[in-house]
Structure formats: structure tokens, C-alpha cells
Chain A
């Protein structure tokens, strides 16, 4: 009896252990499955493929990728300050270490000093004399800025892409211009052209960057100077900015009708003391759209302007205040665009803003840029919530992107002494994001706290809705 009872106890214990083991295994399996990277939907997968191509694919060329010039940590552009941090063997400097590209491919001095890239929009027949020196435009908010009734407008002068001129075709022209191993530019020898699948992915990725829609101005801004700047910006009789940069975007609004992205000759090429020309290096006059050009350049969006300087197609102005002041100067007011504005003005005035007004408009641009930084940071931090424990690399990438945006928000506000309390919240958000990067088990917690700090910063910049 006692033996039977002992055997029954042993069986019972064994059963319990088995059940416990089964329970632990099931729980462990469930946790393992929950922590696995979630599969991307087809659109997200295409964008991820495009991102990989953009930053890693050299197309069998000289080693450059799209990301060589459009750096993630530089708002998909490039500044001389960042260039100065790069090692000498960075593919950006191929003209300095690939003998076949030493002449007539880039101007290393102008690249390092002013972030200028050599372009041959008007043809490759006279490489020594016929070229343009242009800055690197960011690729944010392309979905709101490329289309126009006259067809797509890409690059600084609207004619950056070969073939059908579309954003999808842009990569083909970029590979030919910038990725080549030699100046012969033979497809299949000096580079390979992107496939249709790669062009689809690159386009999807580029269209996914930044804002997907324009703002609706006016915004209920809290800052006194920025609010005044917004009023000047929108005043068609004073700042007149909103005519060509409707809602601080890249489309033109005339008499209440939006006519899409447009090209204008604003006289930037007529600026005196253009920094690159002061060096004595050859910097031919850039004739803009078409060949021969009509001296027009297309309108960039302004929401992203404050953290993507230097400004204009030739990086001729370093600060956002300088860029706003340009429109009250002689070069603009004597240009076809300046004369057009004066022609339709009852007082025959183009744009004449005083220093306080210039600073106010710039403050407005800084604040809407910071609001966009906050929006982007929150969006990246939110994505951290939805990724699995084992998808750590992706989580870190999202956190780093959030951190870059936060840094930009801090820089654009503090650069003009704007909203110190909001800056303090952004600094907090930056620190929390940094902690999230370093945390193994509380990444989401820190990311959530960073989001909250961003939300508080936003609340200090703008009246929130009910």
C-alpha cells in the first residue's frame, strides 16, 4: 500500500514537472515569437529595399552611393562642416585618389570649403569649361515638391533627371554623373545602370522621406517673433514669401490658386561676392533649367530649410537669416522674379524687409523646422514600440534617426536664441534617446519618455488643439 502510494506520488510529481516544463516551453516559445522581427508589408519592404540601395549600392562604380552625398545624419544633404570630419579615403573624395577622376570630375577645394559638387547639366563635351558647381539638396518632402503641371521637377533647376524627367529616373542620371569610374562613362564598364526593380525601390524610399503633406498656415505659434515672422511671410503685400512658397512648401500660389512647383529666375547668380568665386577657382555662371538654360531654378520647400543650409543652388549664403535677407537685396529685386513682384504691387515694390523683419521671418522658418524635427523624432520613436526584441539593429537605427532630428531641432532653435524652454525639453529628449540606445531591456521605456519630452517641447512652440 505504502509502495503504491509512493509510486503514485512519484508519478504525480513527474506529471507536475512535465506540465511545468510544457508551460515554460510554451511561454518561452510565445515570448520568442513575440520578440521576432515583424514582417514588413509590401510597401514597407520596398522602402526598406530602397533605403538599402540608397546607402549601400555602388552600382559597380567608383565606390560612391547615393548616401555618399545625401547623408542620413546630415538631413540627406551635406555641409562643409561634416565634410571636414570625413576620412580622406571617403568615396566623396574619389577625385583626390582615383587617377582617372583627378581632372574635370570634381573641384576638391570647392567641395571641401563650400560643399559644392560638379555637375554637367549642359553636356559632357567641354568638361574643363562647361560645368556647374552646385550644393547638395536634401531629399526630404519630395512627395510634396516634385510634381508640377509641367511635369516632374527634380534637382536644383528642375531638370536633374534624364529619360522621362521623373524622380524614378533621377538615379540613372546620378549614377552616370557621380558614380563613374572614368570620364568615359560607359554603361556596363564604368558603372551599371539601376534595374527597373531598383528604380522602383529607390523612388519609394525617396518619397517616404520627411513630410508627406504640406502645412496649413497660419499656425497658432506661441513665440511672439516667430508669429510676427509668419504674418510677414504670409502677407502678399510685405514678405510675399507665401506666393512662391505656399504654406512654406515648394509650390506656388497665385491669387489663391496653387499652380504646383515652379521655376524662377531670382537672381542668385547675380549676387556679388559669391563665396566660391572669391577663391579664384573657375565657377561658370549656372544657367539653370534646360540647355541652353533660361536661368531659372525650382522652388525648394522651406519647412526643412533652417537645418539644411547652406542656401540656394550654389551654397552662396550660409545662414537662414542671410537667405531671407537675399530677397530684400538688389540681386533679387533686379531679377525677373523681383521685377514681376514689383510689377503687380500697387506701390511698385518688390520685397523690402528691414533687419527685424528678416529675423522674424527666419525665426518663423526656424520654428516650423523645429516642429518638423519634433514630428519626425516622435514618428521614429513610435516605430521603436512596434519592433521585436531581436530586431535590435533596426531599433538602434530608428533611435539614431530620432536623435539626429532632435539635435537639429535643438540647433535651429538655439541658433537664434528661440524658445529656450522648448530647447531644454529637446535636450531632455536627446538624453532619453541616448539612454534608449544603450539600454538592453528598457529601450521602449526610454523611447516613450523621449516622446513625452518631445510632446512637451511641441506644446511650448505651438498652441495644441483641444
Chain B
């Protein structure tokens, strides 16, 4: 496919769209570690009207960690399908409690309604979607409060839904960061010049995996699955079947310690192989301050690759899946991403085809830590960056041409990706620390044709998360994707599997490999639409 010449462009329309959410982190000059980290956001269609809605997590008072008023509520906005959103938090009953960090959305009980899991410092919450715009807090019944018998409530920073045992029910993975207590917050820097402590000042934590018992309850299988054997400082989490064995694997970006790649062994256990796979550390053996992650195929070879954001001077990581011996190669230098991203600190991110030319591009939400100004001589606020994928070989920073709104710096953190106006071009919602949300409406002109696949599992989980979809273009080339909502940092994106088709108005074939390996094919499919595929009964 010839790369299109379309310039990726966005306009920022949050205010116009009625999105008045402000993320409040309660920073008060005391340099509490938690205030650096919030900002998870989700794109979900909670009312099944075909328009993606939004859920925002929010902070709380420090040190009490309480949502003392509406300014700290998590917020749910319904997409009115006309370019505007309405705040429906109060009616939905999802304002929440505690200092929230992350959100993971999926239909965990296969009732056709998308549910919401909120992960936080002192509270995790599972909201079951009751329909009619209402939710119920079912955390206690579900057994998902996240309280560890030994460690108590761990600081959860990201979460995601996956069906690790292919039983047709979504399980929950929770990434935990560090042991933290406001009462014993260490003081770092000099007395005259305090600063946020390095993560090395805090002990790490294990992650958690909860198995769905198919009755509204979950069993903590963190120990028996092998997940809890590995102590890290978990940040973003992403899922993909990277070795094509039919079982979903897990990648966890860790902050300043090596990353984890949990290979699903298909028997309810995982083996951590980040080192052997070459994705645990940067190529020179340095651990970066890993934050956001996406686990998708950037070079259209059918194998999910990894992109991980980090801190200034880390250089963001790009690992190319070689498809043999579970091995990845460091591709950041060769693709141009390493040098291009070294000046930045990246939080959430996403690998999406913003110009629909058939190659997935990269979007990074950027900002340095607040108070870093004196160390780097410039503002901590940064403009986001978008890198265009040039034929799966290199990434080119095209941010300068992405529109005036895109150049505005802020303390960007979380991202949710979805096509909010159903025009076929993927949009991005970005939260900002102690600031207003931004909705980057994709207005790329000359973008290619597209196809979005919405899966409807019957034997598999209802949303088909974990299913691998490939499309064959008229010239015989194939594009690959898989259904996941776990993208970036602390955030959740639409579950649709999207393909940019370039100049092609349709595809010769769509093939779905459902979790468990059953395949289903459709031929001669027209593009520029959302194609709903229901899982065929065996």
C-alpha cells in the first residue's frame, strides 16, 4: 500500500462538546507521590447507542484520600451522538470514593452492557451496568476490592480485562505500583528545594489477577497463576497473543525496574519472560521509567509489537516481534523513535492508524513532572506528539502539522482512543493534571478508507476481547489487529478492531480468530463502516 500523503490533523473540541471535566490531583507542594500519577480515562459505549461515551477518574483529598466533594468525583459523560456530551455521573451513581487512578471497561458478565472497573490508591470499585444509565457498585460481592491478605490495599495504577483461560468470561488484571503511605512519605531533595522522590525510595508490589467465576464473583489467582511472584512497580498494562498460541499474554510496563512479559502457558499459569524476550530493559540494559504501553502490530506482519513510553532521556521503547523463539528486537533506534522521543516524558499512548493509510501511527500524551522546570530549564507542560508510520519501517514526527490546538502544552496524562463521531477517523481524549480534559477530534483530510470490526461473542466473551482479526486487501496483502480495551496508561479505549484501508474501498476477506482458536471468515466486505460480526455457533 502506498503511504497516503494526508497530514494527520486534530482540532481540540472538549469545551464545544460539553466536556467540562477537570482532573484534580490535590497537589499542595508537599510532593506526595500519588499526586503525580492520576488521570485514567475510558471510552466506552455504556448505553449501546453506537456512540462512544467517556468515563474519567479523579483524585481525592490528601492525606485523607477521600472524595470530599463533587470536584473529586469520577465522571461519566454520555455521548449525545451529535458532537456533544452530557454529564450523567449523578444519575449513573459512579462518582466513586477514594483516590482513583485508572479505569478499565468491558462487559464482564456477558449481559451485553459495558461495565466499569476503577482502580485507585485506597479503593478499587467494580460498577455493574444495570442498563437504563444506572450502575451498581458490586465490588464487595465480586471480591474485587483488591485487598491483599498480607499487604492490605495496594496502590493500583492500571487495570485491564482479558480472558486468559478462554472460558468465555473476562478476567481482570490489576497493575500495582509501590507501597505508599501519606504518613510516611519520604522527603527528597534538599530542605530548601523539595522534589518528588524517585521510585527507588518506595518498595515495589506484585500485580494481581482475578479469575471470573461466571457468577458475578472473582477468585484471586495472583499466586496460583504465578503473577504475584514478580515484584515490580507496575504502570501501564497491555494484552496480546504475541506468540500466536491462542492464549492472551500480558505486558506490564514498570517504573525504573525491568518490565514484565507474562507468557500465558495455557494452563492457568504464566511465565515471566521479559528478559528472554528482550523487552524487559532498554537495549543497553537500562531500566526506563516505563509508563504507557500498547501491544499492537506496527509493521503489518501479523505479530503484535510493543511500544512503551518513558521519562526524559529514556527514549521511548519500540520492540518488534520477530515471531521466532518469543523474541523481540529493539527497533526504537532504527525507526527513529529513540532520538525523537528522548527530550520528552510520555504518559499514555496509543498505536492507531490516524490517517487510515494502512499503517498504525503513534500518539503520545506528554508532560514532564511538575516542578521539573529548574532541572531542565523549561516548562513541565508539553504539547502531545503524533508520529506517522512510514511503511512499518520508521516513525516520523508530524506533530508540527497536526493543527494549532495540538501545539498547546499541558500536563497531559491519560488517553482514550475512539471514533467519537463515527466518521472513521480515530479521535483521542487526553486528561491533564489539575486541568481540563482535551478532546482531539481527528480532522485529517485525505485520509484513507477504513473498516471497523465490532465483535459479538457468544461462546467467547461478549465483546470478543482477545480475538484476532485480519483483513485481506484486494492486492492480497493482509492487515492484523486484535480486540482489546487496555491501551496506554491507566486508561481504556474502544473495543473495536480498526483498519485503515488506504485507497481500497473494501477488503477481499475478513477473518476472525476467536479466543480458543475457532475462525470465521467473511468475503468481499465493503469498507467505510462498522462491521458487526457475531460469533457463529459451533
Do A and B come from the same complex?
no
Chain B residues with CB under 8 Å of chain A are none
Chain A residues with CB under 8 Å of chain B are none
